[in-house]
Chain A
């Protein structure tokens, strides 16, 4: 009986083994809907390192020396300003995405900010009042030189740093604001300088001096470049980059839109903002410099600064102009 039981069991085992060999193993349950990595969507035209703007370290010229204004603000016949007046519109290349300096206020639909105030002051000196006499043209950082070279705009007021490389193509007014490059990171981040971000992704706008600094810094950063500064903010909020590095003015505007971010570290560059003018319009440069003199002395600069920048960056006074 017992022996027979063993035989039967052996037989059953043999049959099972045979069936298993015939059918193969049952395998593993199939993943019904495999998903590769869920990639983040990206802003349009995201690129890599871009050093085309050149650095602020270029000392082949004195970038700050502009053309001295004539006495008083005047519009001679046949001048560039007279043509603008006849046209009825001052065409200004500005930013509509940089909070505090040039941005579209969604509740009013208007462009506002420190740079926009300057444009309005220049229009006021040409037309008597800025309302209805300014045509704003939103441009990216990368388009600033291009629209000036093609004479598509009369002025560019868009956190435009004066450098020797740029002065070859366009004219700059005297310095109206001095900023410096710093870092914007999340409050959890321990980074306080570029060296802390070695191998990490750092974002800047294309063809900006900040992008050039990131691309050439010895810290070996992974440079990410985008069209507009607020595209950098989107990517930082989505965790696609680890930091944004550019002028403290722009970073302050970003930090004001997101309480979980903070501006850290010291200024490691000096950025001198000037108003860009087409290369040949010498009279326009002198005119703009005269308007800037007026803005510095009349208190208009302080008013605008107090409204937009002071809450984030503390008190400051206008930089002194230098002329050739």
Chain B
């Protein structure tokens, strides 16, 4: 009896050949290896059932079960926390920078388009600051595109727009340079090259950039959500382990009339600590990452969409003037984009939405600046249209593109764009602070849970061995 208790499990049937019928054993022996292997689990189960009929055997089964359960629960919890930690790091290191890169691609390209048109409107040699601005836009777009492309391979939705952008951007810049050369020679065909470039930008490149931004933003939101989800499997396993430990202790108390088993108490304490630590850390982490989403990336998304509408409207404004009387379609487009930006009453739209979302922090002032600049710009735009419609074309052009006209379109738009950029930076900072805090809440949790699981397993082993010794 005692000897079987210390050697549980599959070794148990070894001393008991008599119970198995001779012919059956012969049959088993007669079967070649593979089928014999299939029979092993059955033999194991039978052996466990047989030995569990005795108290030491039952204790051994309980010990093995509890050790396995604590190791499995500990492993599940550790992996789940590690996975979440990796997800948050991924959100900080990859997803958010990618979404930012995608919006940078859009902004730079759209600004390049508007700047090229402004440079065309200026008389004689193009102003060096416009040229510089265009060059910087193209360089920024290229750099941001390389960043966005570096991570597009694993997402088919992102690969397609990146492909379009990579193929079209060099063609666009080539057309702009051809336009510039012809312009310098005094040939009006330069204007047609510029229109072709702009058409390529508006019909193909910018929609692709917008797609890319949408895809990257959706992925960011997905991963933020998965970093705040409830770890069901690990929680259920931990609770099951806790329940099993309690049941085992109640059973032991009844059997042995001893109130406490130190090993099992230690194991129970380890599991309780795991549960509490995990719960607190996950709640803190979840609320911080959620905060990073609400205060950070969601606000950034609204601001980015406001900026996209503003950039499109600015390109419309300059292209209306380039078209010189033939720009009704652009002017209509301007109206649509302006309505998207500030709403039909000048108070709503995406800027209004941003004002509603951002109630605290540095962002409030930036959004207020942006709203004021937007209203200045729309006022200046009305003036531009009035002058152009009254036949004062050159005055309208000067008012629209010259940076030194203080109440003109160009400086007002510049202020709007800068304020939106500043507000976006604030939102990104808040995202980073919160999400990083969430990451910190998980510090040491994964290794901690692993250690606690081992402590629980060790406690179970020690505790049950103590009782088993009493049967020797």
Residue of A89, A107, A139, A254 near B124 (CB, 8 A) is A107
Contact indicator A42/B196 (Cβ below 8 Å):
yes
**B326 near A230 (CB under 8 angstroms)?**
no
With a cutoff of 8 Å between Cβ atoms, the chain A residues found around residue B189 in the complex are 97, 99, 230, 233-234, 237, 254, 257-258
CA distance A96 to B194 in the complex (A): 14
A135-B391 contact given A41-B199, A43-B195, A97-B192, CB 8 Å threshold: yes
Does A233 lie within 8 Å of B391, measured CB to CB? no
A305 at the interface (CB under 8 A from B): no
Complex CA gap A283/B390 in Å reads 24
- A230 partner residues in chain B, CB cutoff 8 A: 188-189, 191-192
Contact A41 B325 (CB under 8 A): no
Contacts of A135 in B (CB 8 A): 390-391, 393
Asked if B186 CB lies within 8 Å of chain A CBs, one says yes
Q: A163 within 8 Å of B by Cβ?
A: no
Digitize A72-110: 1 where CB-to-B-CB distance is under 8 Å, 0 elsewhere.
000000000000000001010100111100011111110
A41-B197 contact given A97-B192, A230-B191, CB 8 Å threshold: yes
Q: Take A106-B183, A143-B326, A257-B187 as given contacts and tell me if A231 and B192 are in contact as well, using a CB distance cutoff of 8 Å.
A: yes
How many whole Å from B132's CB to the nearest CB in chain A? 20
Say how far B171's CB is from chain A's closest CB, in angstroms: 6
Residues of A within 8 A of B123 (CB): 106-109
A17 part of interface (Cβ distance < 8 Å): no
Residues of A within 8 A of B175 (CB): 41
Query: What chain A residues lie within 8 Å of B438 (beta carbons)?
Result: none
Structural contact, B196 and A231, CB atoms closer than 8 A: yes
Q: Would A43 and B325 count as touching, CB distance under 8 A?
A: no
Residue pair B186, A107 in contact (C-beta under 8 Å): yes
Q: Which of B167, B168, B324, B391 contacts A96 (CB 8 A)?
A: B324
The answer to whether B394 has its CB under 8 Å from any CB of chain A is yes
Q: Are A105 and B394 in contact (CB under 8 A)?
A: no
> Is A96 in contact with B188, judged by CB distance below 8 angstroms?
yes
Chain B: which residue is nearest A87 at the CB level? B391
Q: CB-CB < 8 A to A89: which residues of B?
A: 390-391
B393 touches A44 (CB 8 A): no
A-B contact number at CB 8 A:
99
Q: How far is the CB of B321 from chain A (nearest CB, A)?
A: 10
Question: Please, how many angstroms separate the alpha-carbon atoms of A44 and B195 in the complex?
Answer: 7
A30 within 8 A of B: no
Range of interface residues on B (Cβ < 8 Å): 35 or more
Q: Which of A35, A99, A139 contacts B325 (CB 8 A)?
A: A139
| A88 nearest in chain B by CB position | B391
Partner among B124, B167, B193, B323 whose Cβ is within 8 Å of the Cβ of A234: B193
| A38 contacts the other chain (CB 8 A) | yes
- A150–chain B nearest beta-carbon distance, Å: 12
Confirm or deny: B200 has a beta carbon within 8 angstroms of a beta carbon on chain A: yes
Q: Could you say which residues of chain A place their CB within 8 Å of the CB of B188? A: 96-99, 103-104, 106, 230, 257
The answer for the CA separation of A134 and B391 in the assembled complex, in Å, is 7
Contact call A234/B187, Cβ cutoff below 8 A: no
Write out the residue numbers on chain A whose beta carbons fall within 8 Å of the beta carbon of B325: 93, 136-139
Count of chain A residues near B, Cβ 8 A: 37
Whether B326 pairs with A139 at a CB distance below 8 angstroms is yes
Complex Cα gap A258–B325 (Å): 28
- Which residues of chain B from 145 to 201 have any CB-CB distance to chain A below 8 Å in the complex? 167-168, 171-172, 175, 182-193, 195-197, 199-200
CA A89 to CA B191, docked complex, whole Å: 26
* In contact, A41 and B186 (Cβ under 8 angstroms): no
Q: Is the CB of A91 within 8 A of B391?
A: yes
Nearest-neighbor residue (CB-CB) of B325 within chain A: A137
- Shortest B86–chain A CB gap in Å is 28
Q: Which residues of A contact B193 (CB under 8 A)?
A: 234
Tell me whether B324 and A233 are in contact (CB under 8 A).
no
Is A181 positioned at the interface, with any CB of B under 8 Å from its CB? no
Contacts of A231 in B (CB 8 A): 192, 195-196
A-chain residues with CB within 8 Å of residue B394 when the two chains form the complex: 109
A140 contacts the other chain (CB 8 A):
yes
Q: Judging by beta carbons under 8 Å apart, are B324 and A136 in contact?
A: yes
Could you tell me the distance between the alpha carbons of A140 and B191 in the complex, rounded to whole angstroms?
14
Q: Indicate if A228 sits at the interface (CB-CB under 8 A).
A: yes
Complex Cα distance, B187 from A89, in Å, reads 28
**Docked CA distance A41–B170 (Å):** 12
* Alpha-carbon distance between A135 and B172 when the two chains are bound, in angstroms: 33
Which of chain B's residues have a CB closer than 8 A to the CB of A139? 325-326
CA distance A262 to B164 in the complex (A): 36
Min CB distance B154 to A, Å, is 15
Q: B199 contacts which chain A residues (CB < 8 A)?
A: 41-44
Chain A residues with CB under 8 A of B172: 41
Min distance, Cβ B156 to any Cβ of chain A, angstroms: 14
Given A99-B187, A106-B183: A136 and B393 interface contact (C-beta under 8 Å): yes
Give the Cβ gap from B153 to chain A, nearest Cβ, in Å. 10
Which residues of B are found within 8 Å of A254, using beta-carbon distances? Answer: 189
| 5 residue pairs, one from A and one from B, having the closest CB atoms | A135-B391, A137-B325, A109-B123, A103-B188, A138-B324
Interface residues of B (CB under 8 A from A): 120, 123-124, 167-168, 171-172, 175, 182-193, 195-197, 199-200, 203-204, 323-326, 390-391, 393-394, 397
30 pairs, A vs B, C-beta closer than 8 Å: A35-B167, A38-B167, A41-B171, A41-B204, A42-B196, A42-B199, A43-B192, A43-B196, A43-B199, A44-B196, A97-B188, A97-B191, A97-B192, A99-B188, A103-B188, A106-B184, A106-B187, A106-B188, A107-B124, A134-B391, A135-B390, A136-B324, A136-B325, A137-B326, A230-B191, A231-B195, A233-B189, A234-B196, A254-B189, A257-B182
